[in-house]
Amino acid sequence: MPVLFAKQETQDLLEGFQIDAPYVTEVRRLLQSLWRQQGTAKLEKQVYMVTSAAREEGKSTTCALMAVVTARVFRRKTLLIDGDLRRPTVHSLLRLARGPGLREILQGTMPIREATRATALPLLSVITRGDSNSPASEAYTDEAFAQLIAHSRANYDFVFVDAAPVVPVIEPILMAEHVDSILVVAMAGKTPVTAVRRSMQILAPVIPKIAGVVLNNAMNGLPYYYDYRYYGYKERRPRTTVRPDAPAAKEEGAPTSDREPEGER
Amino acid sequence: MSQPGPRRPTAAPPDAPSAQPIDLQDLFWRLRRYGWVLVLPIVACLCVAALYARGAVPIYQAALVISVDNQADVSNAMRPYAPGGAIGGQPRERIALIDGKIHNHSFLKAVAERIGMDKDPVLLARATAATKLMTGITPGEHAIRLAVAQLWTKISVSQGRGTAIQISVRDESPERARDLASIIGDALLEKSLQATLEKVQARGEFSKDQSVVLEERVRQAEDALRTFQESRLRRNITAGLSSEAELQQAQVYQRSTEEEIAQLRSRLLSSNEEWRGLSGGATMPVLSSARADELGNQLIRHETGAVLIQIRGADKTGEGAAFQGRITATRQALFVEFDRLAQAAEGGLSPEAQNTAAGIALDRAVLRSLQARNDRLAGVIREYVSAVQSSPRDQIELQRLQDNVTSARSLLTTMRNETATAGVSEAYATSQMGPRIEILEHPLLPLQPSSLGARATYAVAFFLALVIDAAIVFAGERLAAVVRTVEQAEAEYGLRVVGVVPRIDTRPRPGGYLRNHWPKFAIVAVLLVSALFVVFDEFVFPHPNPTKPAQVQK
């Protein structure tokens, strides 16, 4: 039973990153799947765009996680772009300032290098949404975005673009023309079927670029065997064997049994 | 984790019903996902139950068991005269009958007056306050209405054991419940007997009144029939012809008359020629006298009077011959008179001329009588044809009048029988054999309240909450059209699911805090509202509850 009004511990993705966490495992598996889908022996340079049918389906978290895992686990030079000009979240996921960023680049008020910011991960750079308050519909220019992607492609191994949802706005379908692969995120138990059908109608021109669907189970909408509790497989560390007749060696918290771990018998 | 691969075609909806056994682990997983949402109905229902149990007054129920229409055995011949036989039927009909007797304003008003509810100071105070706001009703009348409304809800009628009927009275006081049940039983007995007697007496009075009316109607119908028959008889006598044979006879007779007229006219022509030869062209003298006129009229009467006798063949019986003799005698007397007048004529006619003039005058008189006969025959024939044409209408009218008389007589007989049997029924109803509502079990003092206790209230509330929870889960799992499984996602997108990302414990769920925790806020709100209700009820607006004394509980 959940606790009434339990305090939610909110950490950014870099602070709370645990290599064995279920979501990291799944994102690694996802990246390896994409890698295998390319049919090559190693990850090639790619520009990925992550979008969804509607908002609040976890695409920003998924996109940021993919970038973090790529930089930290696969040790590739990675750029994360917050392409949602209306409801940006990447800066909050990584606890960065909102600007300067993409808007300034698109408006040509700031060079790409200056708008690109480093993170705690040496191999991960981020372009946030930016500070400009001009209308989002007017802020996006296709040429500037194409230049940004071309520049990123030249300077980074992997680029992840966190785009807005495809049904309400037009920018994602414009951005899709410049990326290599598209991932569509859906939230199990939340994404309406009608929104899915509409999004697929909109994405029809770029369907060949779509690498697949990422099902976000943040609401635990999938059956029980997708529960992250099934991922508990921590490393069992060897215990120090202490003789019963050697009390001096006994310390608080140290194991009292000389039994070997089950896995080591 | 699904493996990446080629795009899948859109498949059939994955939520199609299957005959797979229920996966309990999956079921509990789904229930667990709802979490506080499922706790909310339980808390809400239990709070409502607590408030109800806190304010609920124990209700006691006293039951009166009666049987209806247990008639004494009577013969089949007597059974039609025994009132109340229609009560027997299905139990539901019996219950409806008793319920209708009890749940009506007049009965409950009588009960309220009998137990003195119309003088209850609490009701009178309420009625007085209410009547200040309205006109046309006195406080006493309003108090009676309030009392009837209270009694209406306290009494219920249901099926008892076997064919018996149970009348239950619920009240906050066990003594009042018992007493009220007893009074209802007594009132029901009296009302039933009174109603039966009133019905029987009304039946007798009605049949008597109707008998008087029907006697008058029979008299009128008989008068109308008699008048019609007499007029018809009279018409038959005056018309003359009464059959088709007589009509044919009349027509034959008319043709022979016309032939006679024709012969007479030709003879008159030749006689006129003869006269002109004898007189040398002199004008024929006028042979007229009072005697001749009288004889001419007499001849006409004889000719017309003999018509019906000739048609009906009465001449064969002697009457016709008598008429014929009178006609012949009249003609001879006429000839003698004309001959006398011719001899006395001025100018001195020769004997042959006198004879010719007298013959012509006679022929003319005979011709007039024959024409009168012919007219009479034509009239008789015309009347007969007209009568034949109007005959069906007469038959129908006659039938209608006869039917009127028959039905009026039949109704009169029925009403006289009804008057007689009403007397028998009244005697039966007032006797000990009559229909009775019999009390099988008198009401006892109830010892335990019949209303739900606190535990039962909580149990019902909890069960209701579980039902609501089941409905919520069913609606969420089956009715909402959202992506639920990997297979469904692949089917709807037509793409491979390349990854499943579980929840990140260190990140908040999508959506705002209030949206993610609304069930908890709702639970707290329900608890707060319940607590506020208790506080207000207990401390801010306390009110004495006279229906909850300690001795009643004991």
Length of chain B equals 554
Over residues B400-429, the pLDDT tens digits come to 888 989 998 999 888 888 888 877 777 776
Give the rounded percent of residues in chain B with a pLDDT score beyond 90: 19
Query: Cβ distance A200 to A173 under 8 Å?
Result: no
DSSP line for B490-533: HHHHTS-EEEEEE--TTSPPSS-HHHHSHHHHHHHHHHHHHHHH
Per the CB < 8 Å rule, is B482 touching A26?
A: no
B150: CB partners within 8 A, 6+ apart: B117
B238 touches A: beta carbon within 8 Å: no
Q: Which of residues 102-131 of A touch B (CB under 8 A)?
A: none
Say which amino acid occupies A186.
A
- Taking an 8 Å cut-off on Cβ atoms, the answer to whether A27 and B3 are in contact is no
Q: Is B36 on the interface with A (CB under 8 A)?
A: yes
Q: Do residue A227 and residue B29 have CB atoms under 8 angstroms apart?
A: yes
- Winning range, highest mean pLDDT, from B146-150, B315-319, B484-488: B146-150
- The CB density around residue A55, as the number of other CB atoms within 10 Å, is 16
Rounded-to-integer distance, Cα B64 and Cα A142, Å: 90
Mind listing the pLDDT tens digit for each residue in B105-161? 888 998 888 888 888 888 888 888 888 888 788 888 888 899 999 899 889 998 888
| Cβ–Cβ below 8 Å for A10 and B496 | no
From A148-162, B151-165, B340-354, the region with the lowest mean pLDDT: B340-354
Picking from B497, B504, B510, the nearest residue to A212 by CB comes out as: B497
B318 pLDDT exceeds 90? no
Within 13 A of B8's CA, how many CA atoms are on the CB side?
Answer: 22
Q: Which residue has the higher pLDDT, B62 or A239?
A: B62
Question: Residue A191: which of B482, B509, B517 has the nearest Cβ?
Answer: B482
Residue pLDDT, tens place only, A77-129: 999 999 998 889 899 888 888 888 999 999 888 999 999 999 989 999 999 99
- Nearest chain A residue to B501 by CA distance is A216
For A23, the closest of B486, B502, B508 (CB atoms) is: B502
Q: B172, B58 in Cβ contact below 8 A? A: yes
**With contacts defined as CB-CB under 8 Å, which chain B residues touch A215?**
483, 486, 489, 497, 499-501
| Whether the Cβ atoms of residue B437 and residue B66 lie closer than 8 Å to each other | yes
Q: How far is A32 from chain B (nearest CA, A)?
A: 10
CA atoms within 13 Å, Cβ hemisphere of B284:
21
The chain B residue lying nearest A28, using CA atoms, is B499
Higher-confidence residue of B424 and A195: namely A195
Q: Does B499 touch chain A (CB under 8 A)?
A: yes
* 8 Å CB contact of A219 and B511: no
Nearest to B108 by CA among B191, B193, B195: B191
pTM score over 0.80:
no
pLDDT tens digit string along A146-155? Answer: 999 999 999 9
Chain B residue nearest residue A216, CA to CA: B501
Shortest CA gap B16–chain A (Å): 15
Helix locations, B351-390, DSSP H: 351-389
- The 10 Å CB-count burial string (b at 16+, else e) for B137-146 is eebeebbbbb
Q: Where are the alpha helices (DSSP H) in B21-172?
A: 24-34, 36-55, 91-102, 105-114, 121-131, 139-154
Three state DSSP letters for B395-430: HHHHHHHHHHHHHHHHHHHHHHHHHHHHHHHHHHHH
Searching chain A, which residue's CA lies closest to the CA of residue B517? Answer: A5
Chain B positions touching A189 (Cβ under 8 A) are 33, 482-484
* C-alpha distance from A164 to closest chain B C-alpha (Å): 15
Residue of A9 and B387 predicted with greater confidence: B387
A166 close contact with B: CB closer than 8 A: no
ipTM value, please give it: 0.81
Chain B contact present for A2, CB below 8 A: yes
For chains A and B, CB pairs below 8 A equal 174
Region of A134 on the Ramachandran plot (φ > 0 left; ψ -120 to 50 alpha; else beta): beta
CB-closest option in A13, A200, A215 to B500 = A215
Report the candidate in B115, B102, B111 with the shortest Cα–Cα distance to residue B166: B102
Half-sphere exposure (Cβ direction) of B414: Cα atoms closer than 13 Å: 11
- Kindly list the strands in the beta sheet with B437-441, ordered across the sheet, starting from the edge strand earlier in the chain: B155-159, B165-171, B60-68, B437-441
